Amino acid sequence: GAVVSQHPSWVICKSGTSVKIECRSLDFQATTMFWYRQFPKQSLMLMATSNEGSKATYEQGVEKDKFLINHASLTLSTLTVTSAHPEDSSFYICSANPPAGPSTDTQYFGPGTRLTVL
């Protein structure tokens, strides 16, 4: 159990376009999901906490108008990179915890989305 999926697994887009990445919890409901960004050979950097039915909480230094997060249901959160530029190229990973039970302290990660902006 506790499976998180992401779509797409990789995307290439032109500079100035917007890209949407989906994160789904497949076998549990997640009131909270997390979005991370990972640069090559580095650890994960938390970008924002996605809250079902309310606004996301962004980490310091993350532009909320640049990285739009929508958590419209208990199994789906989306991250939209607006007006993407080459510096937005990165590996984006989402995660979620089961809301209750012995694994509620455990974050389960999606497989990641590789974004390349040309």
Partner 1 sequence: AQSVTQLDSHVSVSEGTPVLLRCNYSSSYSPSLFWYVQHPNKGLQLLLKYTSAATLVKGINGFEAEFKKSETSFHLTKPSAHMSDAAEYFCVVNPGYSSASKIIFGSGTRLSIRP
User: Would residue 79 be called left, alpha or beta, if left means φ above 0 and alpha means ψ between -120 and 50 degrees?
Assistant: beta
Indicate the residue type of 91.
F
Minimum distance from residue 83 beta carbon to partner 1 (Å) = 25
Residue 36 pairs with which residues in a beta bridge?
46, 93
Residue 105 touches partner 1, criterion: CB under 8 A: yes
Minimum distance from residue 14 beta carbon to partner 1 (Å) = 22
Cβ partners under 8 Å of residue 16, min gap 6: 83, 84, 85
Residue 17 touches partner 1, criterion: CB under 8 A: no
Residues binding partner 1 (CB under 8 A) = 4, 6, 30-32, 34, 41-44, 46, 49, 51, 91, 93, 95-100, 102, 104-112, 114
